[in-house]
């Protein structure tokens, strides 16, 4: 008998994957931030270092939104591509933030933690993409 819709065991796998993603993206950086002595970040707030960082960040966001909308129209049959584009945007935005922290931040430990965050997000999203395929 064939199954239509959600496969058996989906929710168990989903919870394990989401737990691993949350651990990689939130728990490890918070622990390392405290261990390394980097500045605390507020969730969902804009932590701009200077005007260059603010303008660059908003430029990247606008470019991403245009690119995302165009990609959503072109790749309607393949939604996995939109997740890949979102992951790429996140890595590019964190890369820009890392550069600005390296160049202009008072606390030099911040950019090291941002590099670690880029690698952890890349690993987590690669795992999610492989799980979805």
Number of H helices and E strands in the chain, helices first, is 5, 0
Q: Identify the pLDDT of residue 60.
A: 95
Pairwise CA distance, residues 76 & 63, whole Å: 20
pLDDT in tens, 82-113: 888 998 999 999 999 999 999 998 888 889 99
What's this model's pTM, rounded to 2 decimal places? 0.82
Q: Which of 21, 30, 27 is nearest to 124 (CA)?
A: 21
Q: Identify the pLDDT of residue 1.
A: 55
pLDDT in tens, 49-80: 899 999 999 999 999 999 999 999 998 888 88
Q: Is 98 exposed, middle or buried, given 0-12, 13-18 or 19+ CB atoms closer than 10 A?
A: buried
pLDDT category at 3 given cuts 50, 70, 90 is: low
């Amino acid at each position: 008998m064939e199954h239509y819709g959600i496969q058996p065991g989906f929710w168990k796998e989903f919870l394990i994957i989401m737990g691993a993603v949350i651990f990689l993206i939130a728990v490890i950086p918070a622990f390392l931030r405290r261990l390394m002595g980097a500045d605390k970040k507020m969730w969902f707030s804009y932590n701009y270092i200077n005007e260059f960082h603010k303008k660059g960040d908003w430029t990247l966001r606008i470019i991403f939104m245009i690119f995302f909308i165009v990609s959503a129209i072109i790749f309607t049959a393949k939604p996995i591509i939109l997740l890949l584009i979102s992951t790429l945007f996140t890595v590019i935005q964190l890369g820009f933030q890392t550069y600005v922290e390296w160049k202009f931040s008072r606390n030099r430990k911040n950019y090291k933690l941002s590099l670690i965050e880029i690698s952890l997000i890349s690993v987590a999203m690669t795992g999610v993409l492989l799980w979805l395929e």
